[in-house]
Amino acid sequence: MTTPRADGSWTVLGRTIEIRSPWLTLIGERLVDNEDRELDYWRVEKTDSLLVLTIHRGFIVLPNPSFRPGVGRVTLDLPGGRFDATADLNSTALTILQRELGLSGLDPDSIGPLNEVGWDVDSSSSNQMLFGATAMIPDSHELNLDRVQASYRATVEGGKALRDDLTCLQCRAVVTDWLERQPR
């Protein structure tokens, strides 16, 4: 009988396969766990994500739904995209808002991070982290309504209704975190 490693760490014996694409890297590895058992394990290396909860004139606004190949359907989601954690969060959020809602000319200071350290998306099989931000769009800024699918009051009740309507767990996490910060 072996004694488990006190720190719980595992050792990588080697890679059995590595498949690279522009979106992700799929890695198969042979590992030894903390109890000296050899295991085959698969994981994905992927760029982090940034989701932006966008508020305009007292409403959380969402872009038109997009087809999501992972689930094979169109879904309602917060504006979002890939985020290199070495990049500037505010600049990335502005780029996302331009692409998804057609918003331009926004002040970078209108963006506020929800989390300074990314949240693990799936710590078992992925290195991907999720970052969330809020964007406060000035009332004087006009939205292109052709780019807006839905809006919810930027209140606790509205945020809960939005969270209930979202099927994306990452989007739900960002909305939930935002809700926890709202005065009761």
Sequential pLDDT tens for the chain (184 residues): 456 677 888 999 999 999 999 989 999 999 999 989 999 999 999 999 999 999 999 999 999 999 988 899 999 999 999 998 788 999 999 999 999 999 999 999 999 999 999 999 998 899 999 999 999 999 999 999 999 999 999 999 999 999 999 999 999 999 999 999 998 7
Bridge partners, 29 (sequence order): 15, 41
What per-residue confidence (pLDDT) applies to 7? 81
What per-residue confidence (pLDDT) applies to 107? 93
The CATH T-level fold of domain 48-180 is: Nucleoside Triphosphate Pyrophosphohydrolase (3.90.79)
Tokens 């169109």 locate to: 74
What per-residue confidence (pLDDT) applies to 163? 97
Q: How many CA atoms lie within 13 A of 98 on its CB side?
A: 11
- Label residues 71-82 b or e (16+ Cβ within 10 Å = b): eeeeebbbbbbe
The count of residues in the chain is 184
What per-residue confidence (pLDDT) applies to 4? 62
Per the CB < 8 A criterion, the answer to whether 38 and 32 are in contact is yes
Span(s) in the chain for CATH 3.90.79.10: 48-180
